[in-house]
Amino acid sequence: MLTIDNLHVSIEGKAILNGINLNVRAGEVHAIMGPNGSGKSTLSAAIAGNESYDVVKGDILFKGENIIELAPEERAHKGIFLSFQYPIEIPGITVTNFIKTSINSNLKARGESDMPANKMLKKIREKAALLEIDSKFLSRSLNEGFSGGEKKRNEIFQMAMLEPSLSILDETDSGLDIDALKIVANGVNKLKNKSNAIIVITHYQRLLDYIIPDYVHVLHEGKIVKSGGKELAHELEEKGYDWIK
């Protein structure tokens, strides 16, 4: 589904990623771990198409197509979803209006007509229930005044609504207490199936107790320095990142 080939990315001339290679197939869960500043968030931003990051070299192939030149919205239309580490607060747009606009923009881009209002409402209710989101929450301004846990649940709620092929969960566990973590992980697990894939980006092994990865990759100074199965995460938890440096 996703093939990253020798990816070099820099921000304002400063090299952050120095040759990433990664291959994610449908049905797989990959965890990308690494210390602060290793380039984890840069990798997620580069896949999602954030224009503040310059791809200096290398390719990102999604479903066989090179997406390097595509705008963020075009990548979303193809089925890439990024759960933000820091979801943006946007006063004046309700969660419901935001998700409606998002869904219909994606449908429009695929040449389909808007989702009928009743179908939309039913889906919103169903997915909100999955993430244990109160209906009052849906009429609030997007992320404004949300707690850390509410913001992350709202991200996974959007993932549930959009049903992407590839989801990148950027530090979804940060700012979550154990109950919220369980709700979020449970939601993600229910959305997982044979035809989609998930990349979990995390500093800690904690989340990986709930979302079990098929592969674990360790990022250090902009390179994947070690790959392995889920047991690698436990090893890192015990020994710390100094061990792989």
Which residues contact other proteins (rule: CB under 8 A)? 48-52, 71-73, 75-77, 81-82, 84, 87-88, 90-93, 97-98, 100-102, 104-106, 109, 114, 158, 162
Among residues 87, 63, 75, 74, which one has the least CA distance to residue 158?
87
Tokens read off for 103: 């869904």
Quote the DSSP letter at residue 230.
Answer: T
Q: Least CB distance from residue 13 to other proteins, whole Å?
A: 18
**Nearest approach, Cβ of 119 to other proteins (angstroms)?**
15
Q: Which is nearer to other proteins, 62 or 81 (CB)?
A: 81
Would you say 109 or 129 has its CB closer to other proteins? 109
Closer to other proteins by Cβ: residue 80 or 236: 80
Contact 22, 217 (CB under 8 A): yes
Nearer to other proteins by Cβ, of 84 and 215: the residue is 84
Using the minimum distance from each CB to other proteins, give the nearer residue, 40 or 75.
75
User: What is the SS3 assignment for 31?
Assistant: strand
Nearer to other proteins, 32 or 103 (CB): 103
Smallest distance from other proteins to CB 84, Å: 7
155: enclosing H helix or E strand: helix 148-162
Residue 163 corresponds to which amino acid? E
Question: At closest approach, how far in Å is the CB of 146 from other proteins?
Answer: 14
Least spacing, CB of residue 196 vs other proteins, in Å: 16
Taking the complex as a whole, the smallest distance from the CB of residue 86 to other proteins amounts, in Å, to 8
- Residue 63 DSSP label: T
Longest dimension (CA), the chain: 54
CA distances from 155 to 3, 31, 84, 107, 184 (A): 24, 18, 7, 19, 9
- H/E element, 197: strand 197-202
